[in-house]
């Protein structure tokens, strides 16, 4: 049985402009979803869930094609330059379509807004702000007071310069006036190992990986980075609730197509994905990955991306992060 769609109202405008001929004939051949990362991560897993569901619905093969490299740029650029016919999609995320454009705008070969259309944002996954148990503060307010008394003395680990955990801490610095020192690692595994060992006391991590560590008392959770509490761990307060108004930095996923793709194809993609995300078995799969389903309209997704890019451009400038 299908559940009502989560967080989506299909616009009457899109239903009105849907061309019956195109709606009935698309897709007439296999569709590929490009992924800018290696197999096995959150972007890849989400793409494969979408591909399997669309293949069943459409009766046409939907293929996931991994094109890793350059922080997702390779897959994004290939999509920007693909024929605008709805047969090449890219599953983008916070890194490839918010942080990268804000950080590398001068060197990109595509415009991350003008060269794309935005059928649907699929969902988002919050990070958890965690500390080693040896650190005295038990709440975010206590931690801020603790850090203010020790400027430049507390280190935080991240998976690399410019990654969302790094920028989350830099936003925390800018909003509170504290001064935490960044220790970048070559990937999340090395960073987490040192955090668990107590060498670095602070870390931001996605909620799915974080909660087993919190439940095992290996790390303490001081809050989550989303604007609202997560159904995965409703007991965790948001950083906004703890006093950091408007703090909202989540990992998100969405489908993009080349900018000149016919609007009826964009509408068809939005409707199909929204319907799929409302299926109980699909929403359960997404929840197991820590995702809160969004299933937005194209207008909502486009507006969201504009706000995200502006936010990360500001944080990157404040943090003095330079293109590598």
* 10-residue stretch averages of pLDDT, the chain, 324 residues long: 32 35 76 94 91 94 94 93 97 90 85 94 93 95 95 93 88 92 90 94 91 94 91 89 88 95 96 92 86 92 91 86 69
Residues 69 and 206 in one domain: no
What's the distance, CA 11 to chain centroid? 24
Query: Do 118 and 149 reside in the same domain of the chain?
Result: no
Whether residues 207 and 288 fall in one domain:
no
Distance CA 153, CA 147 (A): 8
Same domain, 28 and 117: yes
Same domain (yes/no): 181, 194: yes
Residue 238 in domain: no
Last residue of a domain, one of 207, 224, 241: 224
User: Is 324 within the bounds of a domain?
Assistant: no
Residue 230 lies in a domain: no
Mark whether 204 and 131 lie in a shared domain.
yes
200 and 260 in a single domain? The answer is: no
Cβ atoms 189, 271 nearer than 8 A:
no
> What is the tally of structural domains in the chain?
2
Which CATH number is 100's domain given?
3.40.190.150
Residue 212: domain span? 127-224
Q: Are both 49 and 119 inside the same structural domain? A: yes
Give the per-residue pLDDT at 262.
96
Distance CA 74, CA 77 (A): 5
Task: Single out the residue of 173, 198, 212, 174 nearest to residue 290, CA to CA.
Answer: 212
Taking the chain, what is the end-to-end CA distance rounded to the nearest angstrom?
Answer: 49
Structural domain includes residue 118? yes
Rounded CA Rg of the chain: 20
**What tokens does 253 get?**
């996923």
Domain with 158 in it: what CATH number?
3.40.190.10
Residue whose C-alpha is closest to residue 103's, from 319, 316, 311, 318: 316
Specify if 177 maps to a domain: yes
Q: What's the pLDDT score for residue 11? A: 33
Residues 115 and 259: their CA atoms lie apart, in Å, by 5
Q: What is the pTM of this model?
A: 0.83
> Are residues 146 and 48 part of one domain?
no
The HSE-up count of residue 188 (CA atoms within 13 Å, CB side) is: 11
Distances in Å between the Cα of 9 and the Cα atoms of 4, 103, 202, 299 are 10, 33, 39, 11
Report CA dihedral (188, 191, 195, 197) to the nearest 10 degrees.
Answer: 110
Whether 107 and 135 share a structural domain: no
Strand-pair category, 250-258 with 31-35: unpaired
Q: What pLDDT score was predicted for residue 264?
A: 95
Residue 2 lies in a domain: no
Shared domain for 91 and 143, answered yes or no, is: no
CA distance 204 to 170: 11
In a domain, 78, yes or no: yes
| Widest pairwise Cα distance in the chain | 66
Are residues 120 and 253 part of one domain?
Answer: yes
């Amino acid at each position: 049985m299908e559940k009502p769609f989560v967080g989506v109202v299909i616009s009457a405008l899109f239903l009105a402009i849907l061309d019956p001929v195109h709606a009935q004939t698309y897709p007439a051949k296999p569709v590929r979803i490009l992924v800018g990362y290696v197999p096995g991560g959150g972007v890849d897993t989400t793409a494969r869930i979408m591909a399997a569901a669309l293949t069943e619905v459409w009766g046409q093969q939907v293929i996931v094609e991994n094109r890793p490299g350059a922080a997702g740029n390779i897959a994004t650029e290939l999509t920007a330059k693909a024929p605008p016919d709805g047969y090449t999609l890219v599953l983008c995320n916070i890194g490839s379509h918010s942080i990268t454009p804000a950080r590398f705008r001068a060197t990109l070969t595509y415009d991350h807004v003008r060269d794309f259309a935005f059928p649907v944002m699929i969902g988002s996954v919050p990070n958890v702000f965690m500390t080693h148990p040896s650190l005295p503060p038990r709440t975010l307010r206590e931690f801020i007071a603790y850090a203010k008394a020790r400027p430049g003395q507390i280190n935080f680990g991240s998976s690399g310069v410019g990654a969302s955990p790094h920028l989350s801490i830099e936003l925390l610095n800018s909003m509170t006036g504290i001064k935490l020192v960044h220790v970048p690692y070559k990937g999340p595994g090395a960073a987490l190992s040192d955090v668990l060992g107590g060498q670095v006391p602070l870390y931001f991590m996605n909620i799915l990986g974080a909660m087993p560590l919190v439940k095992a008392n290996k790390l303490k959770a001081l809050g989550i980075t989303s604007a609202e509490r997560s159904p995965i761990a409703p007991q965790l307060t948001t950083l906004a609730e703890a006093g950091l108004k408007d703090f909202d930095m989540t990992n998100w996923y969405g489908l993009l197509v080349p900018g000149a793709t016919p609007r009826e194809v964009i509408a068809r993609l939005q409707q199909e994905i929204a319907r799929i995300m409302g299926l109980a078995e699909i929403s359960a799969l997404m929840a197991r990955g820590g995702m809160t389903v969004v299933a937005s309209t194209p207008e909502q997704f486009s507006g969201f991306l504009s706000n995200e890019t502006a936010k990360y451009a500001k944080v990157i400038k404040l943090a003095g992060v330079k293109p590598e």
